[in-house]
Amino acid sequence: MLIALGISACNSVGAGTQPTGLVVGGPSGETSVDIAECSIFNLYAYLEVNDEVDTTADFSSRVDWSSDNPTIAEVSNGDVVPEGLSDGQVYQRGVVIARQPGAATIRAHYLDFSATIVINVSGLSALSIEPALTTLAAGTSQQFVLQGQVADSVEAVDFSANAQWSFTTPTTNLRLSDDASGTLIAGSSGDSTTTLQARLSECGRHTSTQLKVATPSAYRIEYDNGDNPRLPLGYSEAFSVWADFNSGQRQNLSAQISTDLDDDDPLQALVAQSSLPGQERVLVYTQAETADQAFEISLPGEDEMRLMSKAWTVSEQDLQAISSPQTEWQLVFPDTAQLQVMGQFDDGNVLDISRHVDWSSADDSVLSVSDVAANAGEIAGANLNARVEVEALAPQNADLDPLRFSIQLSAAP
């Protein structure tokens, strides 16, 4: 698949060179793009100079663009107005809007040269607003994203950048930072419920969720290693901070906390962003050996709550072995799973070290494995039947064999 990246261009052809052709897409000459319905992306046109593609000769803004099926994939010549906007705003030349499933051929024409590229548009099977919350803690903020699921795709498509966000019912205690952002600001608690909508105007698709603002019934901290206070130097532990509600819902506040740690403290804490909002975690990592160090955690919200962390003891330890509580998995699309690697150290301590190993999938096109700190080891598979191996390698000890996981994928029933 090709979605050409923007490349700095002088829009000129140097002396002594001879234009011999035109290429759409990029320097590799790809002939098709596979994209999801409702996507908006750029195509680029480059001149061939002396029969070689010259990526400095970007003629994207000078060619005439056309589509043989604009109801499937429309291309702008600087004349397509974004849905719902006015005031002279238009998509720049070469922007393609995938309006519905099907195939279209995009043509670029300049002087005596022309080139084409086929756009294959896959349909969306579902749209969802994530995270799937119904309650927000008073005085907090929450980022939402709009995701689309495409059949047979390993991962969901993030449409947040193209979405228009709005409330379809009146609200007095929730507000959007702006209509192009899914960030909500929660005011005071109340009994009313409002509907948040995310709309993809270019293809007429939308989805919504209902929300209200409440005062949490409790706050709690969940640690990777429970009450275990021991942490080897050079390793980290993750925790999440949650607001619980009487409804049984909970909101992850990890991205909104602050601590009283100083830069020179043996322990440091930082927020590990995740692939989805609502899955953030706080990483406690070690700078030096220490004994019984805890720190204060300040929470957002109208209660201005403060919690104390557990106390850690940090010492230098060597990794002796790695293992996992489960190496055989069955995964039915679209479910995901969390693989885990446990490390045993020379003091007998056993900890989750999933963030400290190198993950790899035998076939990334069928099964993806995350190496993002907040959810390292999370797997997601394509909508098909297959068996794929995942490998975890501990670089801290070259004598240890890789840990192998076997994943049986099953298509959706």
Q: Are 409 and 388 in contact (CB under 8 A)?
A: yes
Average pLDDT, the chain: 88
Q: Residue 53's pLDDT band (boundaries 50, 70, 90)? A: low
Pick from 302, 308, 307, 130: which is nearest to 216 by CA? Answer: 302
Give 178 or 402, the one with higher predicted confidence: 402
Per-residue pLDDT at 334: 81
| CA–CA dist 130, 277 (Å, integer) | 7
Average pLDDT on 216-241 reads: 94
Domains (range + CATH), the chain: 19-122 (2.60.40.3440), 124-214 (2.60.40.1080), 218-315 (2.60.40.10), 319-410 (2.60.40.1080)
Q: Of 7-16, 53-62, 273-282, 297-306, which range is least confident?
A: 7-16
Residue-wise pLDDT for 54-102, tens only, equals 666 788 999 999 999 999 999 999 999 888 666 678 999 999 999 999 9
Write out the two tokens for 354: 């999933």
Say whether pLDDT at 27 is over 50.
no
Q: Are 225 and 237 in contact (CB under 8 A)?
A: yes
**Pairing between β-strand 32-36 and β-strand 19-24 as defined by DSSP bridges:** unpaired
| CA–CA dist 201, 182 (Å, integer) | 15
Per-residue pLDDT at 302: 74
Per-residue pLDDT at 242: 97
Residue-wise pLDDT for 181-200, tens only, equals 899 999 999 889 999 999 99
Residue-wise pLDDT for 109-155, tens only, equals 998 899 999 999 999 989 999 999 999 999 999 999 999 988 766 67
| CA–CA dist 116, 66 (Å, integer) | 9
Which strand (E) or helix (H) includes residue 310? none
Write out the two tokens for 186: 């929660």
Residue 197: count of CB within 10 angstroms of its CB: 16
Per-residue pLDDT at 25: 81
Write out the two tokens for 349: 């301590």
Would the pTM count as exceeding 0.75?
A: yes
Residue-wise pLDDT for 357-400, tens only, equals 999 999 999 999 998 887 899 999 988 899 999 999 999 998 99
Average pLDDT on 257-274 reads: 92
Write out the two tokens for 396: 């801290």
| CA–CA dist 211, 118 (Å, integer) | 42
Per-residue pLDDT at 406: 97
Per-residue pLDDT at 11: 41
Judge if the upstream peptide bond of residue 277 is cis by omega within 30 degrees of 0.
no
Burial class (CB in 10 A: 0-12, 13-18, 19+), 264: exposed
